[in-house]
C-alpha cells in the first residue's frame, strides 16, 4: 500500500534534480542536492518540514544544510544514495529522534548544550523520553525564540504559573536593553572615552553572553541573581559615562 507513495516520492525527487533552480541560497544550494530537490517538494506533507521552513531559518543564513542534522549524502544525485543513512525521526537511532535532539543541536551549540545537560528538563527527557528539548522553544528549524508572551503558555504545559522563569526572562530582556544603551552612549564619544569604559563594555558583553547561555540550564535563581547584578553595573557605568567621558 506504500508503493504509490514511494514511487511518487522518487519521481518528484528525480524531477527536482532535473529542474534545479539556478538561484542558490547563500551560494551553496547549487552543490547541495538535498536543497535542490526539497525546494520542489514544499507542498508534500510527507517530507516533514520543508524547504520553505529551512530557507527562513538562521540555519539557512549560516549555511547549515539538511545533512548536518539528518545525515545523508548531499552530493549524490541518486535518490537512494542521497538518503543513505537518513532515518525516520521515530527511529531511536536517528539523530533527530526526540531524545537525541539536544545532542544533535549540541554539535554546534556546545555551550547551550552543556548548560541544558545540567537541567532537570534534560534529566527528565533522558529518563522518561518525555519533556522539552530544543524544539520546544526554538521550533524544528530554529525559526523562533521563545517570547515573553509565549513563556507562560509553553511552561504551564508541565508546570504551574512560571513566576520565577518569567522574572528571569524579563531581566534578560532588561539587561540586553541596558547593554545596548551603554554601547550606544559609548559609541557617541567616537573613541574619546577612557580605556576603562571600553574594557567594561567588553566585560559586560562576555558576562551577558554567559548568563544568556545559563538560561538553558533553567536554573532561574542563578539567572535572576546574575542578571540583576549585571544590570546594576551596566546602568552605573552608563550613568558615569554620561557625566564625564574621561579621556585617555
Nearest 10 degrees: Cα torsion 210, 215, 220, 226: 20
The helix (H) or strand (E) run that includes residue 98 is none
> What is the DSSP annotation of 35-88?
HHHHTT-TT-GGG-S-HHHHHTSHHHHHT--HHHHH-S-TT--SHHHHTTT---
Encode pLDDT of 9-59 as tens digits: 343 343 343 333 333 344 444 578 888 888 887 666 566 677 888 888 888
The answer to whether 109 and 40 have CB atoms below 8 angstroms apart is no
The pLDDT score that the predictor gives to residue 24 is 38
**Within a 10 A sphere around the Cβ of 225, how many other Cβ atoms?**
14
The answer to whether 106 and 206 have CB atoms below 8 angstroms apart is no
How far is it, in rounded angstroms, from Cα 194 to Cα 109? Answer: 35
The answer to whether 68 and 78 have CB atoms below 8 angstroms apart is no
How far is it, in rounded angstroms, from Cα 99 to Cα 85? Answer: 18
Band of residue 112 on the pLDDT scale cut at 50, 70, 90:
very high
Q: Is the pTM of this model over 0.85?
A: no
Mean pLDDT in the chain? 82
The answer to whether 169 and 157 have CB atoms below 8 angstroms apart is no
Amino acid at each position: 500500500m506504500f508503493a504509490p507513495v514511494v514511487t511518487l516520492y522518487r519521481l518528484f525527487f528525480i524531477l527536482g534534480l532535473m529542474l534545479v533552480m539556478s538561484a542558490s541560497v547563500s551560494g551553496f544550494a547549487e552543490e547541495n542536492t538535498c536543497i535542490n530537490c526539497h525546494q520542489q517538494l514544499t507542498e508534500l506533507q510527507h517530507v516533514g518540514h520543508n524547504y520553505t521552513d529551512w530557507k527562513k531559518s538562521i540555519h539557512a543564513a549560516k549555511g547549515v544544510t539538511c545533512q548536518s542534522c539528518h545525515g545523508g549524502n548531499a552530493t549524490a544525485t541518486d535518490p537512494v544514495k542521497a538518503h543513505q543513512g537518513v532515518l525516520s525521526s521515530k527511529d531511536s537511532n536517528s539523530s533527530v529522534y526526540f531524545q537525541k535532539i539536544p545532542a544533535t543541536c549540541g554539535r554546534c551549540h556546545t555551550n547551550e548544550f552543556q548548560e541544558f545537560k545540567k537541567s532537570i528538563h534534560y534529566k527528565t527527557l533522558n529518563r522518561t523520553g518525555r519533556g522539552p528539548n530544543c524544539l520546544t522553544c526554538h521550533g524544528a528549524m530554529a525559526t523562533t525564540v521563545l517570547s515573553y508572551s509565549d513563556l507562560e503558555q509553553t511552561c504551564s504545559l508541565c508546570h504551574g504559573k512560571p513566576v520565577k522563569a518569567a522574572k528571569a526572562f524579563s531581566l534578560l530582556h532588561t539587561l540586553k536593553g541596558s547593554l545596548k544603551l551603554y554601547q550606544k552612549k559609548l559609541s557617541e564619544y567616537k573613541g574619546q572615552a577612557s580605556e576603562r569604559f571600553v574594557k567594561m563594555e567588553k566585560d559586560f558583553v562576555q558576562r551577558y553572553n554567559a548568563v544568556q547561555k545559563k538560561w538553558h540550564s533553567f536554573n532561574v535563581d542563578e539567572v535572576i541573581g546574575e542578571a540583576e547584578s549585571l544590570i546594576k553595573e551596566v546602568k552605573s557605568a552608563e550613568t558615569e559615562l554620561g557625566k564625564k567621558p574621561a579621556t585617555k
